[in-house]
Amino acid sequence: MSIFQIITILFVISALFSYINVRFFKLPTTIGLMIMAMIFTLCITISSLFTDVLLKEAVAIINSIDFKEVLMDVMLSFLLFAGALHTNLTHIKTQRYPIFLFATFGVLVSTFLIGTIAFYLLNFMHLPISYLQALLFGALISPTDPIAVLGILKKAGAPKNLETKIVGESLFNDGIGVVIFLTLFQLAASPEADVSLSHIGFLFLEEVGGGILLGLGLGYLTYWLLKSIDNYETEVMLTIAMVSGGYLLASSLHFSGPLAMVVAGLFIGSDNKRTTSMSEVTERYVDKFWELLDILLNAILFVLIGLEVLILSFEGNFVLAGLILIPVALLCRYLALSGPIILLKKRLNFVPNTGLIMTWGGLRGGISIALALSLTDEMNRELIVAITYIIVVFSIIVQGLTVEKVLKWLKVS
Instruction: Report pLDDT digits (tens) over 27-38.
Output: 888 888 889 999
pLDDT of residue 155: 65
Flag whether pLDDT at 234 surpasses 90. Answer: yes
Mean pLDDT of the 45-73 span: 88
pTM: predicted TM-score of the whole model, two decimal places: 0.90
Mean pLDDT of the 326-345 span: 94
Which range among 83-97, 137-151, 223-237, 355-369 shows the weakest confidence by mean pLDDT? 137-151
Flag whether pLDDT at 147 surpasses 70. Answer: no
Delineate the domains of the chain, giving CATH numbers in brackets: 3-63 (no CATH), 67-409 (1.20.1530.20)
CA contacts within 13 A on the Cβ side of 117: 19
Flag whether pLDDT at 276 surpasses 90. Answer: yes
pLDDT above 70 covers a percentage of the chain that reads: 95
Flag whether pLDDT at 146 surpasses 80. Answer: no
List CB contacts of 40: < 8 A, sequence separation 6 or more.
Answer: 13, 17, 306, 307
List CB contacts of 278: < 8 A, sequence separation 6 or more.
Answer: 226, 235, 286
Q: Decide: 391 and 368 in contact? Cβ < 8 Å.
A: yes
Q: CA torsion sign, 373 to 144 to 323 to 157?
A: negative
Flag whether pLDDT at 232 surpasses 90. Answer: yes
CA contacts within 13 A on the Cβ side of 81: 31
